[in-house]
A and B are shown apart, each in its own frame.
Chain A
Amino acid sequence: MTEPSEREFKKLNLVEEDKEKEAEEEAENEDEEEKSGEGTSSPPPIHYPGLLGENSEYVKLVSNDNHEFVIRRELAEISKVLKEMLRTPGGNGSNTVYLHMINSRTLSKMCNYLSYHKQYLKKEGEIEPFEIDPRDGYELLLVAGFFEI
């Protein structure tokens, strides 16, 4: 019976080391899954790179029913009130404004108006009408009065 050479010993050791590493990695993955929750059904949160920083390109408006509206900062700053909300002295690092008094339907219409205002304010010629559902008139009036738009 021939004794295994040093080279063969090294090969065996490497294979064993690889197996140990794989076992460790599997154990780590299992720990992460346990920490994240049962199963992997929840999708990872979406991160908008344009929302970060003091002068981010986008800002987020959240309605009272947790609908999020990500719009351009230049549109949001059409309203001086919103502009002040975004530039609080303490810093609004997340560039998010929680609007607990506005539902998603009204906030959606408000965002549509901001876009319409930007598009047509300096446009010459015929402009598209901005339709307002009669059921939304009262809520929109309150919102428009508050945000001064």
Chain B
Amino acid sequence: MSDEESDNDNGLFPNLGSTNTDSREVRVRFVNRCPYPVDVFWLSSEKKPTKFGTLRQKQFLDIRTYKNHPWVARRSFDGFKLKLNEKAVFWPQPGSPNVIVRTYCFITAKVLSLKEMASRSLVIQNPAIVPEDLSLPRDLQFDIRGFLDKKKEYSEIVCRSIPPPVRRPPQSPPSSQ
């Protein structure tokens, strides 16, 4: 199954995980080219997403990763799937071992249907919306309900996401006098 197929199912995140078969370090800069905040996730070996940061429009995030470590990006508001260098999943590729090069990964949006955009507009306007109370056809009510459920699920995943380890500078030993 290709990355596109695995990320196109109904799940919020693809069924992919990191493997430690290659220890070559890859330096990546994620750049947000969407007009809204996005979350950047690394998929662990247990196939669980770990949020590495939230980028506002035109912000970037520098990380060090490894080959065979997949990364994905989602819109912060509702977990909408975004593209990384025109693909659903970003796989870092090491360059020449003698040259340190930072790979750029641009996060961009896909074209949504008018139905999806209008649904999101309604929810943004009224976050406590109840689709069943709206005078809408059944299928549209079902779509909005599905969207609200995914948004809630995404929020829970982000809350559960274990933050990455924070690198602290080594503490200098106290000098004895």
Residues of A in contact with B (beta carbons under 8 Å apart):
110, 113, 116-117, 120-121, 124-127, 129-130, 132, 134, 136-138, 140-145, 148-149
Contacts and interface: CB of A to CB of B under 8 A. Distances in A.
Given A137-B122, A137-B125, A149-B114, A142 B140 contact: yes
Contact of A141 (B36, B86, B109, B136): B136
Contacts of B130: none
Contacts of B136: 141-142, 145
B111 interface: yes
B115 A126 contact: no
Contact of A140 (B86, B118, B134, B139): B118
B125 A144 contact: no
A140 B114 contact: yes
A132 B35 contact: no
Interface of B: 33-36, 86, 106, 108-109, 111-115, 117-119, 121-122, 124-125, 134, 136-137, 139-140
B118 A121 contact: no
A121 B112 CA distance: 9
A126 B118 contact: no
A126 B109 CA distance: 7
Contacts of A124: 86
A126 B140 CA distance: 29
Nearest to A149: B114
Interface centre among B119, B121, B125 (most CB of A within 10 A): B121
A149 B114 CA distance: 6
Contact of B140 (A110, A134, A141): A141
Nearest to A119: B111
Closest 5 CB pairs of A and B: A137-B121, A141-B118, A144-B114, A144-B115, A134-B125
Contacts of A120: 111
A143 to B, nearest CB: 8
B134 A138 contact: yes
Nearest to A135: B125
Contacts of A141: 115, 118-119, 122, 136, 140
Contacts of B34: 126
Contact of A127 (B109, B115, B134): B109
Contacts of A142: 136-137, 140
B161 to A, nearest CB: 26
